[in-house]
Amino acid sequence: MARIEEKQFLSYRLQAIFDNVMQIKGEYKENFIFDFRNASPGRKFIMNFFRKIIYCLLLLQLCGLTALAQDPPISTNIRYAIQLARKGKLEPALQIINRDLEKSKSAEVAWFFRGLIHVEQKKYDDAITDFNKAISVNPAFTYPYGNKARVYLEKKEYKNSLAAYNEALLHDSSNAVLFYNDIAYIHYLLGNNDQSIANCDSSIKLNAHYAYPHSNKGNALFRKGEYTLALKEFQEAVTFLPSLKESNIGIIKSYLALKDTLNACQFYCTAIQNHISIVRDSVKLECSSICDQVDSNSTVSEQINYFKNLAFIETSISSEYKALIKWMSDIRIQLNGEYTNSDLNEVKRFIAELSPLIAPLKIQLDSIHPNLQIYFVPKRKFSNYISSFRRDIFDNKIAVTLPSYDASYKINSAVITVVPFLSERQSTRALQHEILHAIGFMNHSKDRKSTLFPICKPKFARRTLTVNDAFAIRTLYDEKIFPGFGVKDFEIILKQEATK
């Protein structure tokens, strides 16, 4: 379930208390802008009159004497203690507050803030005692109610937390949207799905653009098996807060529950493309293997079509004739230029993954007799290694590959150029992608979500080969498949295999 991720102990409206003077002063300056340049004498008099009134109100506010102020005044000691606590100096702040408690003035604020420090120190029982003290001193002081409820929630005392939240709703209606959301969360934990949904609706009614209750409602609906409705709520939550972890995962899980693996995969890839690391890094969830699941459910005919899309390239014979290119000798890789240990390790890892798929051919590192050179050089130097490289065509590329094959379509060598010092994920993605180009897959898939050449291009995804990827590589390097094979030649081999 989604909960509010608040900074440290500054929960709910503590920031407003602390910055009471500065905020109000700033608000008046922002909202009352007087332009004397083109005003008439009478208008100048009226504007000046109102300005004086505003300044008087500011002075009253600064002195803590305004009758309109709902919050109790804050002593200088408390302000200083808050500043210390913000810097992580909790014990000195606590000592100052304890001294301030000897005075009657603003005692409720002192008790309340002491409770927040105890929350930060995870001394939850002491925090509850302090919040109750603040309430007993001034029942109209609203801030302790919700915080006490959240402390009970942290302690997993759900019944006490519910009672505290109900009390908070009576005294602090301004934070009701937060309270209803937390109440919904508690009911979800207790297995009360309908009550959870009802409280989510109450929160949404107060603020329809608040993402968390939409996400919580989606979780409760999902648990009830109402996957379509759950999906809608998760999508609403992501609309208002795209980075919300629970909702992103909820969308994927809902699609999977609806057996819509295609949309699940597309959403997963889109999340990766948008750098939503919370989805990419999640473990032990279906979203970590969405694309693999799509591929594993593929039929043989789909895998064959996938291979055809990737492997057959146009030839000089005619625009209609397409052929396969492949290595017929061992592939020996050398790294050159400004590569890192991370780059080297990734190449080694990928070699280990490819080796069983292209056997009996070998693929290995070899600095003595290399035939696949990888150059880590700035883009302006790409043309030094790939003569056909043109910046106007490849300007948005971070890597380029050029395999060299003879008249029989046998690859004899290849060159890869990569921009150096990429992030680890970028480098991983680029090296995987370009090495697979170099071994014969020169096309990009238009209808699959593969690690090799995905339609959604998750440039920052670190993943192993999918089922379809492995099928394509194993098929190209089958001993029955030769360089120069056209589509018809390939289909003849397939028919022969099918009759066996």
| Chain segment 288-340, per-residue pLDDT in tens | 455 555 555 566 777 888 888 889 988 876 667 899 999 999 999 999 999 99
Which range has the top average pLDDT, 65-69, 198-202, 265-269? 198-202
Q: Which residues contact 74 (CB under 8 A, 6 or more apart)?
A: 17, 18, 20, 64, 106, 109
pLDDT tens per residue across span 150-198: 889 888 899 999 999 998 888 888 889 999 999 999 999 999 999 999 9
How confident is the model at residue 245, as a pLDDT? 79
The DSSP line for 276-292 is -HHHHT--SSGGGGHHH
Q: Which residues contact 137 (CB under 8 A, 6 or more apart)?
A: 107, 108, 111
Contact (Cβ atoms closer than 8 angstroms) between residue 344 and residue 375: no
Using CA atoms, how far residue 400 sits from 395, 443, 481, in Å, is 10, 13, 26
- Chain mean pLDDT for the chain: 76
Architecture of domain 1-171: Alpha Horseshoe (1.25)
CA distance 68 to 51: 18
pLDDT band of 424, cuts 50, 70, 90: confident
The least confident of 94-98, 233-237, 323-327 is: 94-98
pLDDT(218) > 90: yes
Count Cα atoms within 13 angstroms, Cβ side, for 276.
21
How confident is the model at residue 211, as a pLDDT? 92
pTM equals 0.52
Q: What percent of the chain has pLDDT over 70?
A: 69
More confident residue, 248 or 229: 229
Residue 141 structure tokens? 């002081």
More confident residue, 362 or 318: 362
The least confident of 57-71, 137-151, 403-417 is: 57-71
How do 410-418 and 399-405 pair as beta strands? antiparallel
How confident is the model at residue 75, as a pLDDT? 64
CA distance 496 to 476: 16
**Is the sign of the CA dihedral 422, 424, 426, 432 positive or negative?**
positive
How confident is the model at residue 225, as a pLDDT? 93
Mean pLDDT over 88-96 rounds to 74
How confident is the model at residue 105, as a pLDDT? 55
CA distance 497 to 500: 5
Q: Which of 282, 289, 293, 435 is nearest to 350 (CA)?
A: 435
Element housing 374 (H / E): strand 372-376
More confident residue, 380 or 280: 380
Q: Which of 87, 88, 82 is nearest to 112 (CA)?
A: 82
CA distance 169 to 447: 53
pLDDT(449) > 70: no
Mean pLDDT over 213-242 rounds to 93
Using CA atoms, how far residue 463 sits from 269, 288, 367, 385, in Å, is 12, 9, 27, 29
CA distance 28 to 395: 51
What percent helix, strand, coil does the chain show, rounded to 5?
A: 60, 10, 35
- Fold match flag (1-171 vs 304-499): no
pLDDT(252) > 60: yes
pLDDT(363) > 90: yes
CA distance 195 to 182: 12
173 secondary structure, DSSP code: G
pLDDT(42) > 50: no
The least confident of 181-190, 399-408, 444-453 is: 444-453
More confident residue, 281 or 121: 121
Domain range list for the chain:
1-171, 304-499
Alpha-helix residue ranges (DSSP H) falling in 63-121: 76-86, 90-100, 107-120
CA distance 355 to 338: 26
pLDDT(455) > 50: no
Instruction: Give the CATH number of domain 304-499; options: 3.30.70.1520, 3.40.50.261, 1.10.760.10, 3.40.390.10.
Output: 3.40.390.10
How buried is residue 393: exposed, middle or buried, by Cβ count under 10 Å (0-12/13-18/19+)? exposed
The DSSP line for 176-225 is HHHHHHHHHHHHHHTT-HHHHHHHHHHHHHH-TT-HHHHHHHHHHHHHTT
Residue 255 structure tokens? 């699609």
Question: Given the structure tokens 């302006």, which residue do they identify?
Answer: 380
Question: Given the structure tokens 């934070």, which residue do they identify?
Answer: 175
Mean pLDDT over 239-268 rounds to 82
pLDDT tens per residue across span 47-75: 454 444 444 444 444 443 333 334 555 66
Contact (Cβ atoms closer than 8 angstroms) between residue 127 and residue 155: no
In this structure, which amino acid lies at residue 131? Answer: F
pLDDT(202) > 90: yes
Q: Which residues contact 136 (CB under 8 A, 6 or more apart)?
A: none
In this structure, which amino acid lies at residue 275? Answer: H
